[in-house]
Amino acid sequence: MLPAMERSPLILRIRWPVRLWHWINALTVFIMLMSGMMIFNAHPRLYWGKFGANFDHAWLEIGNHGAHGYLALGGQEWPTTGVLGFAQGIALAFPPLVTLPSHYNLALARGWHFLGAWTLVASLVCFLLYALLSGHLRRDLGLSREERRPRALLHDIGQHLRLRLPRGEAARHYNPLQKLAYLSVLLAVLPLLIATGLAMSPTMNAALPWLLDGLGGRQSARSIHFLCALAMALFIAVHLAMVVLAGPLNELRAMSTGWYRLPPERKP
Amino acid sequence: MTGFSRRALLAGSGGLLLSGCDRLTTSPTAKSLLSLGEKASRSAQRLVTGQALAPEFSAVDISPVFRVNGNTRPTASAYLAHVERGFADWRLAIDGLVARPLALSLAHLRALPQRTQITRHDCVEGWSAIAQWTGVPLAALLHGAGALPQARYAVFHCADDFSGTPYYESIDLAEALHPQTILAHTMNGQPLSVGHGAPLRLRVERQLGYKQAKYVMRVELVASLDRLYGGKGGYWEDHSGYQWWAGI
């Protein structure tokens, strides 16, 4: 144990509305992804355009030939047995391990998906209002003029690829790539998920026909919804990897209590 | 640790986690939460949609092949006899909470004012198909029969069944009186095929596919859905727990 003098400072890094939103989301996003995968299982084919069913061309399909699972994409079939199409002895696109519920039940999955959607939308609206009014969006997530320069971004990408995360004073704030990741989820992926989700509802199509047209039809909306969900899953994977790299206990403390210990500067 | 035992351990712990998860998701508290979500969706959608029309498409948007699903050929002998006679003595019954119960032949239905619309059919599973439908607005029929003030739902009794349980569906009067809600006898300019619900199917264009009852024999107006079959307002609602509100 280092003497107190040499320990780097503990700072209040994350305020309570951000922490609350994070943990509500952590739960909701998993409910959405897992029930969404079960809904996808009901018709594991994706199309572009206004319509699309079994006799139409699917740009992506997850299926099985007997006990062999496959993913068909770009005119080619990739074997995925044990992961997609056929896994755990069950012929479903996504296996029981990752779906909600774990056995095939479209009605229950839809129930969870729509309850989760209400939670997601309500908490997102509250969070966006807070982020705008408190200055969190501008102060903590906005990129400074300096950070926006291509050279600075390239440098940051290089640092991330070498897994050299900011330390000391530099770790007081989010780094540029981190800000971009959060901003794209907050302002692009989540809004697009909600918009495409609404565009799949026949009643909402009557209320908001421009939304349906803007997204290129219901089956396009369904495809974009799936791709955005994939983007969310990738974001979560990278997010968790970064938490582990940056020091999971310190990060978990920061997201639970707000207090974050600045990682000490590297020895020269 | 060998790959096999690691896998077994993973599957084992996964299984524990899953059974825990499933117990949680099917608990009474979870169920009441889920039905709260359904009510929220219904109320919100009703509020923002009002009487707005479902999108209509042009002839070039029609699906080259409109797949049939659900029951594709009812097995009841009475229905098959109607098929054999070209539905010549088939009658649509409109009864329940109406002032004047009706029994209408196909010829009679075709002679009434018609509506033709090119609309999208959205299966709850996720696929969509577009077709042109021609039929009689349900509002005109209910008006003709004189719906009583206590009527709240229109119930569609069908000729098909699943292992002896008849297919039926229901919509509330707001949806039943919507101008695009028709009883269709013609699809893409042809008389409705048996696969698609001959002689008459419901088109309720702001709702999912399982509401589009095929082989409609009788429209009954009721004040409550509680005493019909499983009490949830439709075959799939009773059998598989599908949401009665099929607007999303």
- What CATH number should be reported for the domain holding residue A236? 1.20.950.20
Give the closest-approach CA distance of B139 to chain A in angstroms.
Answer: 19
Nearest CA in chain A to B239: A107
d(CA B67, CA A153): 51
Tens digit of pLDDT at every position of chain B (248 positions)? 344 444 444 445 555 555 666 777 778 888 899 999 999 999 999 999 999 999 999 999 999 999 999 999 999 999 999 999 999 999 999 999 999 999 999 999 999 999 999 999 999 999 999 999 999 999 999 999 999 999 999 999 999 999 999 999 999 999 999 999 999 999 999 999 999 999 999 999 999 999 999 999 999 999 999 999 999 999 999 999 999 999 99
Residues B62, B14 share a domain? no
Burial profile B116-151: b = 16 or more Cβ within 10 angstroms, e = fewer: ebbbbbbbbbbbbbbbbbbbbbbbbbbebbebeeeb
Residues B25, B76 share a domain? no
Whether residue A241 lies inside any domain: the answer is: yes
d(CA A123, CA A267): 42
Give me the residue from B120, B124, B236 closest to A50, CB to CB. B120
Residues B84, B191 share a domain? yes
- Catalogue the long-range contacts made by A170-178 (C-beta closer than 8 Å, 24 or more residues apart): A171/A262, A171/A263, A172/A11, A172/A13, A172/A262, A173/A140, A174/A140, A174/A141, A176/A143, A176/A147, A176/A148, A176/A152, A177/A153, A178/A242
Residues B78, B31 share a domain? no
Question: pTM for the whole thing?
Answer: 0.93
Residues B63, B38 share a domain? no
A186 CB-near residues (< 8 Å, 6+ apart): A128, A131, A141
Residues B195, B168 share a domain? yes
Residues B94, B160 share a domain? yes
d(CA B211, CA B168): 9
Residue A256 has pLDDT above 70, yes or no: yes
Record: contact B242-A107, CB cut-off 8 A: yes
Best of A51, A120, A125, A224 to mutate (most B CBs within 10 Å, chain B):
A51
Residues B67, B168 share a domain? yes
Whether residue B51 lies inside any domain: the answer is: no
As for how many domains chain B has, the answer is 2
Whether residue A78 lies inside any domain: the answer is: no
- All residues of chain A having their beta carbon less than 8 Å from the beta carbon of residue B66 are 53
CATH code of the domain containing B219: 3.90.420.10
Whether residue A213 lies inside any domain: the answer is: yes
Please give the residue range of the domain that contains residue A132: 8-48+105-261
Residues B186, B142 share a domain? yes
Residue showing tokens 């979560």 = A236
Distances (CA, A) of A100 to A31, A32, A69: 7, 9, 20
Whether residue B18 lies inside any domain: the answer is: yes
A223 CB-near residues (< 8 Å, 6+ apart): A46, A47, A48, A59, A60
Whether residue B165 lies inside any domain: the answer is: yes
Whether residue A248 lies inside any domain: the answer is: yes
d(CA A76, CA A183): 35
Please give the residue range of the domain that contains residue B38: 3-42
Whether residue A190 lies inside any domain: the answer is: yes
Whether residue A86 lies inside any domain: the answer is: no
Residues B187, B82 share a domain? yes
Q: Does A200 touch chain B (CB under 8 A)?
A: yes
Which two three-digit tokens encode residue A158? Answer: 């290089």
As for how many domains chain A has, the answer is 1
Whether residue B154 lies inside any domain: the answer is: yes
Whether residue A139 lies inside any domain: the answer is: yes
Residues B164, B70 share a domain? yes
Whether residue B97 lies inside any domain: the answer is: yes
Residues B62, B178 share a domain? yes
Whether residue A65 lies inside any domain: the answer is: no
- Please tell me whether the interface predicted TM-score (ipTM) of this complex is above 0.90: yes
Whether residue B164 lies inside any domain: the answer is: yes
Pairing of strands B153-162, B216-222: antiparallel
Count of other CB atoms within 10 angstroms of residue A98: 18
Phi then psi for residue A121, to 5 deg, are -70, -45
